Amino acid sequence: MTGSEAPRDATPVRPGLNTGRAALAGMLAGALALGVGELLAGISSSTPSLVVSVGELLVDVAPIKAVRASIAIFGTNDKPALLIGIVVATLVITGLLGVLATSRRWIGVAGFALFGALGAWAGTRNPMASDIAAVLVAVVAIGAGLGALFWLLGTLGTAETAEAVSAREPETAAPGTEHLVDRRGFVTAAVVVGVGAAASAYVGRLLGSRSVVEAARSNLSLVATAETTVPTSVPAPVTFTAADYPGLSSLFTPNETFYRIDTALEVPQVDPAKWRLRFTGMVDNPYELTFDELLAMPLVEQTITLSCVSNKVGGSLVGNAAWLGVPLTELLDEAGVQPGATQVVGRSVDDFTVGFPTAVLEGDRPALVAVGMNGEPLPAPHGFPARLVVSGLYGYVSATKWLTEVELTTLDAFDAYWIPRGWAKEAPIKTQSRIDVPRTSRPLSPGTVPIAGIAWAPSRDIVRVEVQVDDRPWAEASLGERVSEHAWRQWVYLWDAEPGEHQLRVRATDGTGETQTEVVHAAPPDGATGWHTIEVNVSAS
Ligand SMILES: Nc1nc2c(c(=O)[nH]1)N[C@H]1C(S)=C(S)[C@@H](COP(=O)(O)O)O[C@H]1N2
Ligand SMILES: [Mo]
């Protein structure tokens, strides 16, 4: 074999340099595969992102301890951190594949194919994607990656050969110029592949964000078309507003700042034109509704405080909103719930599920298939086009977002998403109160200091809030507007503060006369308890 026809797997003359380039070639090829995958994912909502799908696969198979640990480390950034981790790991592995493939091309092919298979498998598990689309995305992405890998390694092959030639025939070859040309061959290919990877990823993400959902939402104007059957209570004297006490939670939590809990790595984008709500299971008349059919039903507005079971005492995973929707009982009446049914299961487009006893619906507590939140169509992160909201139950057992199916079954027959993950099967919201003001580490001035916050016991009402300074007797706070027994109440206590260190505590009493328990309990498995307590420092003057 002559130098000019050197085999592609010629032994590198300068292994160090070429190993570096081969690793770069592998990484660039990996990046292109990911970029092309994102580009295809951006084109339609049924083509999955391979990176996101693999992320969801990992979350699914990861032991609960690992998930908790990653949330502990990354906090609410755990999702971006996971996706970045997947990209970095992919590039490291494809870099290695690039090095191995310089001498044995089949290793590169096999490695990329394995990646493709993992991506395709994860994509087909993605409940929002079509299986064929998932496989196609993986095949095209891996094809692009392998094409790039062979091209890049090909330019290296020439460079090696040139070096070999110049080493054997120093007087005929012009090593300097050959080298330059060949290095340029690699550099050019590397730039082309790198730019292609970045551009395809960027365009794909851009396409993905240009969603049908925002267009559909902005075309909707939703108003209540029926009176609520639930007595929305006494208009109590409005003695103050949040504006008077900077830091106090507003009566209605703005949609933009309302807390969010999702298991999905990306907010599901549900086209309302294609969306259906099905009523299934132990019903006499299973049926399905389109979004327009749902909107044509009587829409009521109910103000309901929603809380996450994992909210700590004093935590921020709680919000109050006016929800517009169709009473779940009306929808279930059409379906005809069979007598043996004991559990209502809410399923989401993302496979998330909730479940609560049918008995919950027996009283007059509001349970809505909600389409509006604080006067707007539901924002996508809060479940557009429709979600469940049930007064008095923690979100994980009641509040399915991107709702697509309501199934009637028995309590024994099915455990919803969080139940096998260690949370309680039944989970009414515990009476809680929180001090919002003062929340400062800076010393306060002596004199009148407002202590203010919120208290909630949705479906049981709040009738009293008390504040305790150090070990003085409990003093009653004034309560703000009472929108309904399902909504939180603001409270304010004007404290005559004296210099020194002080401890402030709050406790609420619900409409059944029960005062929230002092017993300190962490959130798992059914919600935290204890009195929110803070320390403040009042300066001498
Ligand atoms: N589809 C879906 N619905 C969901 C969840 C979810 O992860 N996926 N989280 C639940 C939990 S744990 C809570 S506390 C509430 C939070 O609703 P929000 O994000 O609108 O505040 O939604 C519930 N509904
Ligand atoms: Mo939650």
Q: Are 254 and 374 in contact (CB under 8 A)?
A: yes
Q: What's the CA gap between 225 and 217, in Å, rounded?
A: 19
What DSSP character marks residue 459?
T
How close is the Cα of 348 to the center of ligand 1, in Å?
A: 10
Using alpha carbons only, give the angle 446, 450, 456 rounded to the nearest 5 degrees: 150
What does CATH list as the number for 432-538? 2.60.40.650
Nearest ligand for residue 262 CA:
1
User: Is 115 within 8 Å of 94 (Cβ atoms)?
Assistant: yes
Q: 525: CA distance to ligand 2 center in Å?
A: 12
Question: Which residues, in sequence order, are CB contacts of 284 under 8 Å at separation 6+?
Answer: 335, 336, 338
Packed helices 15-43 and 175-209: angle between N→C axes, nearest 10 degrees = 20
Ligand 1 atom nearest to 383, measured from its CA: 20
305 pocket-lining for ligand 1 (C-beta < 6 Å): no
Those residues whose C-beta lies under 8 Å from the C-beta of residue 300, and which sit 6 or more positions away, are: 224, 226, 227, 228, 229, 324, 325, 326, 327, 366, 368
Cα–Cα distances in Å, from 308 out to 60, 446, 503?
Answer: 21, 36, 27
**Atom 21 of ligand 1 has which residue's CA nearest to it?**
260
Give Cβ neighbours of residue 214 (< 8 Å, ≥ 6 apart).
380
Residue 259 CB less than 6 A away from ligand 1: yes
Residue with token string 């103000």: 303
Contacts for 357-363 with beta carbons within 8 Å, 24 or more apart? 357/411, 357/426, 358/408, 360/390, 360/392, 360/393, 361/328, 361/329, 361/332
End-to-end Cα separation, the chain, in angstroms: 94
* pLDDT recorded at residue 179: 46
**Ligand (nearest to CA of 352):** 1
Query: What is the whole-number distance in angstroms between the Cα of residue 209 and the centre of ligand 2?
Result: 26
CB 274 within 8 A of CB 61: no
Rounded Cα–Cα distance for residues 309 and 55 (Å): 24
Q: Distance between CA 453 and CA 441 in Å, rounded?
A: 17
Going from N- to C-terminal start, the domains of the chain cover 3-209, 255-409, 432-538
CATH topology for 255-409 is Sulfite Oxidase; Chain A, domain 2 (3.90.420)
Is the C-beta atom of 350 inside 6 A of ligand 1? yes
Supply angle C-alpha 45, 50, 52, rounded to 5.
Answer: 80
Q: How many residues does the chain have?
A: 541
Ligand 1 atom, smallest distance to 259 CA:
21
The answer, yes or no, to whether any atom of ligand 1 lies below 6 A from the CB of 348, is: yes
Ligand number nearest to the C-alpha of 526: 2
Report yes or no: 248 and 453 within 8 Å, Cβ to Cβ: yes
- 261 ligand 1 Cβ < 6 A: yes
Secondary structure in 3-state letters for 12-31:
CCCHHHHHHHHHHHHHHHHH
**Nearest residue CA, atom 6 of ligand 1?**
262
Instruction: Report the separation in Å between the CA atom of 538 and the middle of ligand 1, taken as the mean of its atom positions.
Output: 40
112 lines ligand 1 (CB under 6 A): no
Q: How far is the CA of 106 from the centre of ligand 2 (A)?
A: 48
Closest protein CA for atom 12 of ligand 1: 396
* Phi-psi sector, 15: left (phi>0), alpha (psi -120 to 50), beta: alpha
Q: Going by C-beta distance under 8 Å and a sequence separation of 6 or more, which residues neighbour residue 477?
A: 451, 452, 465, 466, 467, 491, 492, 493, 506
Beta strands in 413-461 (DSSP E): 432-437, 447-456
How many Å lie between the centroid of ligand 1 and the Cα of residue 539? 43
Residue ranges of alpha helices (H) inside 389-430 are 395-398
Q: Any idea which ligand is nearest the CA of 401?
A: 1
pLDDT of amino acid 187:
93
The CB of 308 under 6 Å from ligand 1? The reply is yes
Locus of tokens 């130098």: 3
Per-residue pLDDT of the chain (541 residues; tens, 9 = 90+): 344 444 444 444 455 678 999 999 999 999 999 999 999 998 887 788 899 999 988 888 877 777 767 766 766 677 788 899 999 999 999 999 999 999 899 999 999 999 999 999 999 988 778 899 999 999 999 999 999 999 999 988 654 444 554 555 444 444 444 444 456 789 999 999 999 999 999 999 888 776 678 888 888 888 888 876 544 555 555 567 788 899 999 999 999 999 999 988 888 889 999 999 999 999 999 999 999 999 999 999 999 999 999 999 999 999 999 999 999 999 999 999 999 999 999 999 999 999 999 999 999 899 999 999 999 999 999 999 999 999 999 999 999 999 999 999 999 999 999 999 899 999 999 999 999 999 877 899 999 999 999 999 999 999 999 999 999 999 999 999 899 999 999 999 999 999 999 999 999 999 999 999 999 999 999 999 999 999 999 999 7
Does ligand 1 come within 6 angstroms of the Cβ of 263?
Answer: yes
Q: What is the CA radius of gyration of the chain?
A: 30
473 Cβ neighbours under 8 A, 6+ residues apart: none
Instruction: Give the closest residue (by CA) to ligand 1 atom 18.
Output: 260
Would you say the CB of residue 396 lies under 6 angstroms from ligand 1? yes
Q: What is the model's pLDDT at position 310?
A: 94
Question: String of b and e for 398-416 (b: at least 16 CB within 10 Å)?
Answer: bbbbbbbbbbbbebeeeeb
Q: Cα–chain-centroid distance for residue 267?
A: 6
Give CA–CA dist 60/65, Å, rounded.
Answer: 12
For ligand 1, whether the C-beta of 260 sits within 6 Å is yes
Centroid of ligand 1 to alpha carbon of 154 (angstroms): 51
Distance 395 CA to ligand 2 centre (A): 5
Q: Which ligand is the nearest neighbour of the Cα of 306?
A: 1
Is ligand 1 within 6 A of the CB of residue 401?
Answer: yes
